[in-house]
Amino acid sequence: MPHDPKVDAWLIGLNHPQAEVIAAVRRLVLDADPRVSEGLKWNAGSFRHRDWFATFRVVGPKGPGPVQLVIHRGAKPQPDAPRPDDPAGLLRWQAPDRALITFADLAAVEAHAAPLQDLVRAWLDGMPSA
């Protein structure tokens, strides 16, 4: 999937010490499924299919903290949304329809590339119809 130039500019503007980690996660999410596209939403790089479903949460350039991807069901709460299987244990649930995936470094992204892409596809399959 082609990159959105606005997300490219957002990433460059971050000047983040974990830019390589963010770029690797971005690439994996975009490559996980042809239904995925990206854009800027909530002042961050975000991904969508029928609705927004994932948004980066990154700390500013003050430290190399972990990179987080918030997986969600869009802006409106959906407490009855199905939860995908997560055999790798990547998801840390924050609400019935919202979870965090945290990557400390590039090695963590590389070690969990296939499970992350499996989760993206499962999440898309569980999204409500438009």
Beta-bridge partner residues of 48: 37, 52
> Which string of DSSP letters, residue by residue, matches 57-75?
E---TT--PPEEEEEES-S
Per-residue pLDDT at 99: 93
Would you write out the chain's pLDDT as a tens digit for each of its 130 residues? 678 999 999 988 888 888 899 999 999 999 999 999 999 998 899 999 988 999 999 865 556 678 999 998 876 767 677 788 899 999 999 988 899 999 999 999 999 999 999 999 998 888 776 5
Q: Are 126 and 81 in contact (CB under 8 A)?
A: yes
Q: Position of tokens 């409106």?
A: 76
94 φ, ψ to 5°? -105, -25
Domains and CATH numbers, the chain: 5-125 (3.90.1150)
Per-residue pLDDT at 32: 96
